[in-house]
């Protein structure tokens, strides 16, 4: 521990940054007040002097707002039907002289195609930022998420795998970029260097949140094994239920088993939304998965969506997030699947 001990202001944040570097096999880590502002900061510092940022439509509900706060226009593209993550082909088609950056998001189950996306970014000389919030514990082709080149963003919100109440951070291997990130969040507004309006964000993480996150980091294996038991229970029970298919974690990689996502298949005549309703009605916390897609929403700022998004349109109403997490016990899975089974058979029976 550095001089001054844990009570020195910023000491716990610094300790957390160091521990997160070890955890992610990352060179550098910079903590922010939230994941949202971490994303905004990365785009503000990385995007070229061009108006658009390419993002998936089937994703985290506030992603277009991130782009707006970074001073750019979101350009929505389609997802890949296999990964449900931003499609490298769609990104490549959308890149133009208007592209300032690509914001790729890891899906809730497994990872996006990091290699292909980095290749495209490199070939077109466009910066890429990864929203890696949902892949915090994962490896991608054997490599730890957080250890790739460039900028990978994570959240410590209470709903995420590492709970710091609220918080976010950026992992990077780029020393110069990291120095700019630090200036960006702590900058003294009265100093002359960064005077342009909106050029910095007061976004320091409080030490209290860092303390929570450090405790969360210590408990991660406990949480992952709990999540895995829940996942195994769903796997066993859902196998025999027609009309619904569990989205499988790629167990050749390290994963957190955190969120349970399932797809209603063509054999199911019960709609996803009525299944969510049935579960909620029974006091079970299920939610529509990334719905509605971002390009179908209305915004008070300009957005761009010149292409059709057929995959997004076809998956938007099919996926569901099933109840899971630390409040849920392994034994509770059975009653959830009972409700699913009943709902699916009721509707198809007419
Ligand atoms: C939660 C989340 C964020 C935002 O993180 P906050 O810390 O809540 O601001 C960004 N991206 C994804 C994919 C998320 O799930």
Beta strands in 36-110 (DSSP E): 52-56, 73-77, 99-105
Q: What is the pLDDT of residue 23?
A: 98
Alpha-carbon span 126 to 80, nearest angstrom: 21
139 found inside a domain: yes
CA distance 320 to 322: 6
Are 106 and 210 in a shared domain? yes
Query: What does pLDDT average to over the chain?
Result: 93
Q: What are phi and psi of 36, to 5 degrees?
A: -55, -50
The reported pLDDT for the residue numbered 22 is 98
pLDDT score at 4: 66
**Domain count along the chain:** 2
Residues 45 and 61 in one domain: yes
CATH number (domain holding residue 172): 3.40.640.10
93 plus 161 within the same structural domain: yes
- Note whether 65 and 150 are same-domain residues: yes
- Condensed to tens digits (0 to 9), the pLDDT of residues 263-287 reads 999 877 899 999 999 999 999 999 9
Q: Which of 159, 194, 218 is the last residue of a domain?
A: 218
Instruction: Please check whether residues 267 and 193 belong to one and the same domain.
Output: no
Does 232 lie in the same domain as 199?
A: no
Cα-to-centroid distance, 316 and ligand 1 (Å): 19
- Please indicate, yes or no, whether residues 71 and 43 belong to a single structural domain of this protein: yes
Domain boundary among 197, 218, 239: 218
Among residues 218, 239, 258, the one where a domain terminates is 218
Question: Given this model, what pLDDT does residue 195 score?
Answer: 47
Q: How confident is the model at residue 184 (pLDDT cuts 50, 70, 90)?
A: confident
Q: Given this model, what pLDDT does residue 201 score? A: 72
Average pLDDT rounded to a whole number, residues 147-169:
96
Q: Is the separation of the CB atoms in 109 and 261 below 8 Å? A: yes
Q: Are residues 106 and 184 in the same domain?
A: yes
Indicate whether 190 and 239 sit together in one domain.
no
Question: Which numbered atom of ligand 1 lies nearest the CA of 160?
Answer: 1
The ligand 1 atom nearest the CA atom of 36? 9
Q: What is the mean pLDDT of residues 22-38?
A: 97
- pLDDT: is 190 or 108 the higher one? 108
Query: Is 295 part of any domain?
Result: no
Distances (CA, A) of 220 to 144, 148, 274: 15, 21, 34
Tell me: the pLDDT tens digits for 221-233?
A: 999 999 999 999 9
Q: Is the CB of 110 under 6 A from ligand 1?
A: no
Q: Is 135 in the pocket of ligand 1 (CB under 6 A)?
A: no
- For residues 118 and 146, membership in a common domain is answered with yes
Q: Which of 145-154, 185-194, 308-317 has the lowest mean pLDDT?
A: 185-194
Three-state secondary structure of 265-277: CCCCCCCHHHHHH
Confidence (pLDDT) at 9 = 83
Report whether pLDDT(53) > 70. Answer: yes
Do 257 and 22 touch, CB atoms closer than 8 A? no
Radius of gyration, CA atoms only, the chain:
21
pLDDT (0 to 100) of residue 279: 98
In a domain? residue 305: no
Whether 168 lines ligand 1, by a CB cut-off of 6 Å, is: yes
pLDDT value at 347 more than 70:
no
Evaluate: CB of 34 within 6 angstroms of ligand 1: yes
Task: Give percent of the chain above pLDDT 70.
Answer: 94
Considering the entire predicted model, what is its pTM?
0.94
Q: Is the CB of 155 under 6 A from ligand 1?
A: yes
The pairing of beta strand 319-322 with beta strand 287-288? antiparallel
Residue 303 lies in a domain: no
Residue 312 lies in a domain: no
Which of 32, 33, 36 to probe ligand 1 with, by most ligand atoms within 8 A of CB?
A: 36
The Cα–Cα gap between 220 and 216 comes to: 6
Question: 343 CA to middle of ligand 1, Å?
Answer: 31
In a domain, 294, yes or no: no
Its domain, for residue 342, covers: 220-286+322-347
Residues 198 and 269 in one domain: no
105: pLDDT strictly greater than 70? yes
190 and 93 both lie in a single domain: yes
**pLDDT (average), residues 246-272:** 94
Higher pLDDT: 349 or 86? It is: 86
CATH number of the structural domain spanning residue 273? 3.90.1150.10
Q: Using a 6 Å cutoff on CB, does residue 131 contact ligand 1? A: yes
């Amino acid at each position: 521990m550095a001089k001054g001990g844990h009570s020195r202001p910023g000491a716990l944040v610094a300790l957390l940054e160091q521990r997160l570097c070890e955890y992610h096999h990352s060179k550098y880590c910079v903590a922010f007040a939230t994941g949202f502002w971490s994303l905004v900061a990365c785009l503000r510092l990385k995007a070229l002097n061009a108006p658009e940022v390419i993002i998936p439509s089937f994703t985290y509900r506030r992603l277009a707002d991130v782009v707006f706060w970074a001073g750019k226009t979101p350009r929505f593209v389609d997802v890949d039907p296999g990964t449900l993550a931003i499609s490298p082909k769609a990104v490549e088609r959308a890149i133009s002289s208007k592209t300032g950056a690509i914001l790729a998001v890891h899906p809730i189950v497994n990872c996006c195609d990091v290699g292909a996306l980095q290749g495209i970014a490199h070939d077109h000389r466009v910066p890429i930022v990864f929203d890696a919030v949902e892949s915090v514990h994962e490896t991608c082709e054997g490599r730890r998420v957080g250890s790739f080149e460039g900028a990978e963003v994570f959240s410590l919100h209470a709903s995420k795998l590492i709970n710091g109440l609220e918080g976010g951070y950026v992992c990077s291997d780029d020393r110069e970029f990291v120095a700019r990130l630090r200036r960006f969040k702590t900058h003294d507004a009265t100093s002359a260097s960064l005077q342009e309006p909106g050029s910095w964000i007061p976004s320091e993480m409080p030490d209290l949140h860092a303390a929570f996150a450090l405790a969360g980091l210590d408990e991660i294996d406990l949480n992952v094994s709990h999540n895995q038991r829940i996942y195994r229970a769903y796997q066993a029970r859902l196998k025999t239920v027609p009309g619904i298919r569990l989205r499988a974690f790629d167990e050749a990689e390290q994963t957190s088993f955190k969120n349970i996502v399932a797809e209603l298949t063509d054999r199911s005549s019960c709609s996803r939304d009525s299944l969510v309703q049935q579960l909620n009605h029974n006091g079970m916390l299920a939610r529509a998965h990334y719905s509605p897609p971002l390009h179908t929403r209305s915004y008070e700022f300009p957005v761009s969506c010149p292409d059709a998004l057929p995959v997004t349109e076809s998956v938007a109403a099919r996926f569901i997030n099933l109840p899971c997490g630390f409040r849920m016990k392994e034994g509770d899975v059975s009653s959830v699947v009972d409700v699913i089974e009943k709902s699916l058979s009721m509707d198809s029976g007419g």
